[in-house]
Structure 1
């Protein structure tokens, strides 16, 4: 009787140990890639591959526009504008701002109760990089949880300058435009290093919904947001 009663417990213990080991190996695979990307530039991101796959369902010949540019070849204006727009405390936090997440949750709950589709993310630049580089645009608690884990890993491994460099090169700025160089050429016919303050503010204002603004152009809200970013970005510190 002892042998038969302990056998299920042993099997359960083995299943738990194996499951934990698999989860740890899965997280380790992410950590290895983060260390790699600290030294080597990625040629694409998870969101880029997802976007290309979806677009090719309608057009098999579609191509993304993407060109890597090093940190010192990127205008300081766009660095300040993006930090001002997306993550004002970028240099001070360790990857996640829990208060911003709480405020976003309260805001989204209120908007949903009113029947509005407006949503606020509350994600730091590091969280957005984790999503863009490794995950997808899908919304689920599982993906969000993985994003939080990756954010801490990224902050532990990478300096702030590298995080910002990766973010600016991986961010989506249009239906097929990824990275600040593609955005600078697409909207202003210039190099990322030559972006002016007003151009940088405009690009930063597009980030919450780049595909929409790519299709709809200069909306009144986008112009107001651009002006707000221009006023704030002068005070922003960059790595």
Structure 2
């Protein structure tokens, strides 16, 4: 029995290592549209899944900037992991303090594509090498495109295009800065936050990140290169 369990564990770990190594280069191909483990889980349980893949150039630049600022402000400068933030979380955990989130967008993308959602040090430990590998193989623009197309924005709602139509009845390229902020602040807790009918807390969080995004300098050049398009998008807000 023990030998069988050990064999199963070895096979499982081998698959968990081999699958991302094989798939991430495939995901670099523009016409390949990856799906998340959550989407696969919904399909296996015969649940409704809404997801309409949209290329990065058809996503409002103000949404990209706002999500980046909210989720991973150092996205353009790190190589998959923000070591300063991660070391701070580890220090807090060792001191017995409540830990904060330190997942970068590459780490969240790796989790969405290959891992499970429940928090654990095992999952976090797996996220780190996967994020480093994903960031190495994929361009920043392609990685952001995948993230915004697999992220969960509500029960069965995946990706910014489906979320934009579901909550605001418009495509992702037409989002205002206010709507972008509401979607960005829904990402950490999609099961408890409704950007279409925001609570007072969500509305306050959205106002804060919207103001920060307007005031921030040029921190998104690795993804958003068209300043004129970005300016028009912000004017709609």
**TM-score clears 0.5:** yes
Deviation at 1:72, TM superposition (A): 0.9
Equivalenced residue count is 208
Q: 2:108 aligns with which of 128, 139, 144?
A: 128
Shift of the 98–204 alpha-carbon distance from structure 1 to 2, 3 Å rule, reads: same
Q: Which runs of 5+ in 1 are unaligned?
A: 1-14, 112-118
Deviation at 1:190, TM superposition (A): 0.3
For the pair shown, which has the larger CA radius of gyration, 1 or 2? 1
Task: Tell me the distance in 2 between the aligned counterparts of 1:28 and 1:218.
Answer: 41
Higher helix proportion, which one? 1
TM-score scaled to structure 2, two decimals? 0.79
Deviation at 1:41, TM superposition (A): 2.5
1:179 paired residue number: 159
Q: 1:165 aligns with which of 139, 142, 145?
A: 145
1:35 paired residue number: 25
The question of whether the paired residues in 2 share the 8 Å contact of 1:171 and 1:179 is answered with yes
The question of whether the paired residues in 2 share the 8 Å contact of 1:52 and 1:63 is answered with yes
2:58 paired residue number: 73
Deviation at 1:25, TM superposition (A): 7.2
Deviation at 1:99, TM superposition (A): 2.0
The question of whether the paired residues in 2 share the 8 Å contact of 1:201 and 1:229 is answered with yes
Q: Which runs of 5+ in 2 are unaligned?
A: 1-5, 224-237
Q: 1:90 aligns with which of 64, 75, 84?
A: 75
The question of whether the paired residues in 2 share the 8 Å contact of 1:47 and 1:135 is answered with no
Task: Tell me the distance in 1 between the aligned counterparts of 2:14 and 2:121.
Answer: 19
Task: Tell me the distance in 2 between the aligned counterparts of 1:64 and 1:22.
Answer: 27
Question: After superposition, what is the alpha-carbon deviation per residue over 1:161-199, rounded to whole angstroms, capped at 9, x for unaligned?
Answer: 001000100100001100000110111000011111111
TM-score scaled to structure 1, two decimals? 0.78
Shift of the 215–180 alpha-carbon distance from structure 1 to 2, 3 Å rule, reads: closer
2:49 paired residue number: 64
Task: Tell me the distance in 2 between the aligned counterparts of 1:80 and 1:215.
Answer: 18
Task: Tell me the distance in 1 between the aligned counterparts of 2:131 and 2:145.
Answer: 15
The question of whether the paired residues in 2 share the 8 Å contact of 1:95 and 1:127 is answered with yes
Task: Give RMSD over aligned pairs.
Answer: 2.6
The question of whether the paired residues in 1 share the 8 Å contact of 2:51 and 2:157 is answered with yes
Q: 1:226 aligns with which of 206, 212, 223?
A: 206
2:97 paired residue number: 110
Task: Tell me the distance in 2 between the aligned counterparts of 1:26 and 1:226.
Answer: 36
